[in-house]
Amino acid sequence: MTQTAILEPAAALQTSTINVGQIPVTVRCANADFHTMLAERYAGFIDTSGGEASLEVEITQAASADPDADLEVCREGSVWQMKRGDFRAEWNAEIRCGRVHQTVNPYSLDSVLRIVHSLILAEEGGFLLHAASAIRNGKAFLFSGVSGAGKTTISRLAPPDATLLTDEVSFVRPEGGTYRAWGTPFAGELAKVGQNCSAPVATLFLLDKGPEHRIEPVSKLEATRVLMRNILFFAQDAQLVGRVFDSAYEFVHRVPVQRLFFYPDASVWDLIQ
C-alpha cells in the first residue's frame, strides 16, 4: 500500500505598504522578520492602506553572487529586469507589480524601491534627485550636488525651524504647474530618515564650497546640464533618458535654480528664506 505525502501549507504572505511621495508600494513576503525590519527601516512611511503598486519578495538564504557587483537594469517590453550581487528583481511597468529575490537585509529592497520610484516618476514628469531637501516657511528647498558637495553638511547646519526631507535623495513630483518635494526614507551619511511631508519647491540650489556665503545665478542651459547629471536613473534606455531630459528641461523653466557657495557655518541658512 502506498503512502500519500502530506504537504505542509505554504507560509501566508504578510503585507507592508511603504508610501513615499503619495506612491504607496505594497510589499508582500512570507518572512515575519523581514516585515519587522521594514517597520523599523521605513518608520514614518508605513501606510495601513493598500498600495497602487506591489512587490512580492522571496527571501533566499544567501546571496547568489558578489554583493559588490554592479547594478544592471534593462527592459524587455514593459518588464524591467534588475540585478545586483545581493538581489534580482523584475518590475512590470504597465501593471505596476514585480518580484524581488533577496536575503533579509534592508539594502536590497531599498535599491529596488529607488529604481521603481524613478521609473514611475519618469512617466509623470518627476524624478529622484541626488539632493538634500528641507522645508522652511512653508517652502521646499533642494540642495543638489555630487558626493562631497555638501549635502550632508548643509543638512546638519539646518536651523530648528527647518524640516529635513532628506540628506541624500529628494523626491520631486509635478503638481499644478509647479513642483512639490516630498520627504523620503532614503538616507545618506546622516543615516536619518526624512520627515514624511511635502511642500512646493521654491528653489534648487547647486552646492559649491567657497570662502563666503553667496548666491549666483545659473543659466537654464547650465541648470539643465547639472540637473541631468544629478537625477537618478539606472538604465541605458533611450526612451527613459528622453523623458528624464524633458522633465529636467521643464523643471528649470518653472523653478529658480541658483548656485550656492558656502562654508560649514549655520549662517548660510540666512540666505535660504
The answer on 192 and 57 residing in a single domain is no
Whether residue 177 is contained in a domain is answered as yes
The answer on 104 and 156 residing in a single domain is no
- The CATH number of whichever domain residue 135 belongs to comes to 3.90.228.20
Q: State pLDDT tens for residues 82-135.
A: 999 899 999 999 999 999 999 888 899 999 999 999 999 999 999 999 999 999
DSSP string computed for 55-111: EEEEE-SS-SS-TTSPPEEEEETTEEEEEETTEEEEEETTTTEEEEEE-S-HHHHHH
Whole-angstrom distance, CA of residue 229 vs CA of residue 224: 9
The answer on 139 and 161 residing in a single domain is yes
Which of 62, 93, 124 is the endpoint of a domain?
Answer: 124
pLDDT grade for 9, boundaries at 50, 70 and 90:
very low
- Range list of H helices, 142-191: 151-156
The answer on 232 and 113 residing in a single domain is no
The answer on 164 and 91 residing in a single domain is no
The answer on 133 and 105 residing in a single domain is no
Q: Say how many C-beta atoms besides its own lie within 10 A of residue 213's C-beta.
A: 16
- Mean pLDDT over the full length of the chain: 90
The answer on 94 and 162 residing in a single domain is no
Domain total of the chain: 2
Handedness of CA 205, 206, 209, 210 (dihedral sign): negative
Q: State pLDDT tens for residues 201-252.
A: 999 999 999 999 999 999 999 999 999 999 998 877 888 889 999 999 999 9
Whether residue 254 is contained in a domain is answered as yes
Whether residue 185 is contained in a domain is answered as yes
Say if residue 66's pLDDT is above 70.
Answer: no
- With contact defined as beta carbons under 8 Å apart, do 29 and 23 qualify? no
The answer on 117 and 196 residing in a single domain is no
Which of 124, 158, 193 is the endpoint of a domain?
Answer: 124
Q: Which domain holds residue 53?
A: 14-124
Which of 106, 124, 142 is the endpoint of a domain?
Answer: 124
The answer on 132 and 118 residing in a single domain is no
Please report the beta strands in the chain, taking only residues with DSSP state E, as ranges in sequence order: 14-20, 23-29, 46-47, 53-59, 72-76, 79-84, 87-92, 97-102, 127-136, 139-144, 163-166, 169-175, 178-182, 198-209, 214-217, 257-262
pTM: 0.90
Q: What's the pLDDT score for residue 69?
A: 75
Whether residue 213 is contained in a domain is answered as yes
Whether residue 2 is contained in a domain is answered as no
